Amino acid sequence: MIDFIKQSFDRLPIAPEMREVFNLPNTISLLRIGVIPIFFCLLLSPGPLMSLVIAMLFIAAALTDLLDGYVARRYQIVTTMGKFLDPIADKLIVNTAMILLIPIGRIPTWIVAIIIIRDFIVDGIRNIASSEGLVIDASPLGKRKTLCQIFAVSALMIHYPFFGADAHAVGMIILYIALILTVQSGIDYFIKFYRTSIKKGSNIK
């Protein structure tokens, strides 16, 4: 199936010089970002059916993160634009969804603030480390935190009872787990940065 999609995409009339940007993995990332405007329907405080539809679109957009990464690795399509688009798409999808859930009372503002502030801090640490030539390994806690966020936001989007379960209550439980992992992973990144900086300073001396 993936091979068929790749072959069909390669037959599209795209100029060779544009393939750096409009290759298959990047196009998948752009399509993920293109779903975001639909999330603004949450501001209408949708009913059970529309909430479920929006949640399904969110889940599909989140899962395609695995798809574009797989395609990029399988066909060795690694570009500078792809390295930029992939993490940006992830943050835009999840953070936009969380922010839009605030006005309709489905998610606490303070939790969203902590999660987004943590992302800014970690990005700052990575940028500083990169400028200093330091390599900080990705924290496994960060990946678990992102996965919990996706499950939590999906349930909070559904909001209404779903197959006999209180989707909102389930979402809040997972969200608190994501919050704990958010703080832990942020501290983990800071400790790794501090230790790596100290080690580099010792080597220079």
The per-residue pLDDT for range 33-42, each reduced to its tens digit, is 899 999 999 9
The per-residue pLDDT for range 130-149, each reduced to its tens digit, is 787 777 777 788 889 989 99
The per-residue pLDDT for range 69-105, each reduced to its tens digit, is 777 777 777 777 777 787 788 889 999 999 999 999 9
What is the mean predicted confidence (pLDDT) over 158-183?
A: 95
pLDDT band at 169 (very low <50, low <70, confident <90, very high): very high
pLDDT band at 205 (very low <50, low <70, confident <90, very high): very low
Structure token pair of residue 204: 């220079």
Bridge partners of 165, per DSSP, are: 162
How high does pLDDT run on average in the chain?
Answer: 86
Evaluate if pTM is beyond 0.95.
no
> CA Rg, the chain, in Å?
19
Burial 97-136 (b: 16+ CB within 10 A, else e): bbbbbeeeebbeeebbeebbebbeebeebeeebeeeebeb
**High-pLDDT (> 70) share of the chain, %:** 94
The pLDDT of residue 96 is: 94
Structure token pair of residue 104: 């309709």
The pLDDT of residue 173 is: 97
The answer, yes or no, to whether residue 127 has pLDDT greater than 80, is yes
The pLDDT of residue 174 is: 97
Cβ 113 vs Cβ 102: under 8 Å: no
The answer, yes or no, to whether residue 204 has pLDDT greater than 60, is no
The pLDDT of residue 85 is: 80
